[in-house]
Amino acid sequence: MSSLQVKTYKYDPKDDVETQWKKWSESDIEFNDVSDSDLKENIVKDLSYVSQMDVREYTLYQKFCEVKQRYPTITVNDLWEGERQVLKDEKQRKALAEVKNNIWQPKTNEDYLELEPEMIYTGGKDGMPEIWNAIRTFTSTMRNNSNIGRNLAYIIRDRKTKKYLGVICITGDFIDLTPRDKFIGWDRNYKTESGMLNHTAIGSTIVPLQPLGFNYVGGKLLALLCLSEQVQSQWKKNYGDDLVSVTTTSLYGKTKKGGLSQYDNLKYWKPMGFTSGSVSYEPTKKTIYQIRHWLMKNHPRKYFEWYVAKRPNGQQLKRDHRHRSYAFTYSKLGNIPKEIMKSDHARGVYFCPLYDKSCAYLRGEAKIEDLTKAFDNSTEALSELWKYKYAKPRIKQLVKKGRESKESLFYDDLIYKSWDEVKDSYLPQIGR
């Protein structure tokens, strides 16, 4: 099922929401009809399937579905190799080859000491978004979600060799995150109405390439770089707001004592506790398209507010619009079991104030000129901290035990594998 097509509507930044609605509702819109019963059947089928999975299997399944949807293949008949599957998109083929040929690989265990990490902002740079997506998609088992709104995506590479080390993305922070809000001293009304939420962000993607990640805790390097002066400067340039703090969350739920998250025991990052443990399961892409078409037919105003309407700055009118639209659809269809809608996967919450009075500023009790940097957040200083406080003891310990890895772990074979083959190959590695 295809996405909705609007032939005549064009967003005008001068239009308020009601003007946008009038223009859009009068435009030439094409959508496919889907019955309540068919949609409900597909939703229950999808959610029943994934709700039986634990957090690791569900994460891998989302990745499998993402790869199959984003990287379609075609069958070719080669004279020498016979019939085989190849990527349909030539740009994707080139990007994958570029990344695989340029992953940083140490020749000795001490080569990390020579690294000079640099942050390449991908905005407006030819070819860089495709490289970023290739790294993000095939080096992490977490699904590569595209975020609507504020996004700063960086490729991290070695300045001297130009070899890739990983990717990060800084996005607009969650509206509600109880452990963070308690630490700041925020109430919900002030947080949203004051606009102070625009002065904090979340490290939504923090993914090191291998073997940097395993051998040298490269995830800690990337988490530190999320706090860099370079990120602050770009945030101010792009959005006009001073960035005074950064949040992130762990991937696989509550960690064991001693730490399984790359953010545990990481300087500057303060553990805040855990989320409430409610993560919504998502239907398949096909069913999501059906939900959108159904909303367009039956609740066009709701569809408009979630997927079309924009604020004066061009950002989406409604935050978390996808999950809001799913929840609304489920409630209208009725009798969808609650136990298949959400998981109980709690995640660790981590928070970093970039200034000594960041929390006071976010509460409206201090001005930006009153703030002093909490630490040296130059790329160079953060990289040196990582080398000697985290990478050095890690590789020393692995060498002593004979456990250092030489694997690059680039998951592009998911393109050609079945779900059963993917489970057999990668499920034991999830969260390793």
Q: In a 10 Å sphere around its CB, with 0-12 CB exposed, 13-18 middle and 19+ buried, how is residue 284 labelled?
A: middle
Tens digit of each residue's pLDDT, the chain (432 residues): 445 555 578 888 889 999 999 998 888 777 788 899 999 999 999 888 888 887 778 888 888 888 988 899 998 887 776 788 888 988 888 889 989 999 999 999 999 999 999 999 998 777 788 899 899 988 877 777 766 678 999 999 999 999 999 999 999 988 888 899 999 999 888 887 888 999 999 999 999 999 999 999 999 999 999 999 999 999 999 999 999 999 998 865 554 443 457 888 899 999 988 776 556 778 888 898 899 999 988 999 999 998 888 888 777 777 677 888 988 999 999 888 887 777 666 678 999 999 999 999 999 999 999 999 999 999 999 999 999 999 999 999 999 999 988 877 788 889 999 999 998 888 876 655
Among residues 209, 75, 231, 74, the alpha carbon closest in space to that of 137 is found at 209
Q: How many Cβ atoms from other residues are within 10 Å of residue 32's Cβ?
A: 15
pLDDT of residue 158: 97
Is the Cα dihedral 51, 55, 59, 64 positive or negative? negative
pLDDT of residue 323: 81
Work out the widest C-alpha separation in the chain, in whole angstroms. Answer: 72
Per the CB < 8 A criterion, the answer to whether 103 and 408 are in contact is yes
pLDDT of residue 350: 93
pLDDT of residue 257: 40
pLDDT of residue 147: 65
The gap from C-alpha 415 to its chain's centroid, in whole angstroms, comes to 20
402-407, long-range: CB < 8 A, 24+ apart: 404/109, 404/211, 404/215, 405/210, 405/211, 405/214, 405/215, 406/105, 406/211, 407/210, 407/211, 407/214
pLDDT of residue 148: 65
* Backbone angles phi and psi of 149, in degrees to 5: 110, -140
Among residues 120, 206, 123, 223, the alpha carbon closest in space to that of 164 is found at 120
Eight-state DSSP code of residue 119? E
User: What's the token pair of residue 269?
Assistant: 């990052």
Per the CB < 8 A criterion, the answer to whether 34 and 290 are in contact is yes
Helix (H, G, I), strand (E, B) or coil at 269: coil
Containing 152, the helix (H) or strand (E) segment is strand 151-158
Helix axes 36-50, 321-333, angle to 10 degrees: 120
CA gap 394, 212 in Å, rounded: 11
Per the CB < 8 A criterion, the answer to whether 289 and 282 are in contact is no
CA gap 47, 56 in Å, rounded: 16
Per the CB < 8 A criterion, the answer to whether 51 and 340 are in contact is yes
Per the CB < 8 A criterion, the answer to whether 350 and 263 are in contact is yes
User: What's the token pair of residue 419?
Assistant: 């779900």
pLDDT of residue 241: 95
pLDDT of residue 129: 86
pLDDT of residue 258: 39
Per the CB < 8 A criterion, the answer to whether 127 and 96 are in contact is no
Name residue, tokens 């790359």: 262
Q: Which domains does the chain have, with CATH numbers?
A: 71-281+341-429 (3.40.630.30)
pLDDT of residue 57: 85
Among residues 314, 311, 307, the alpha carbon closest in space to that of 292 is found at 307
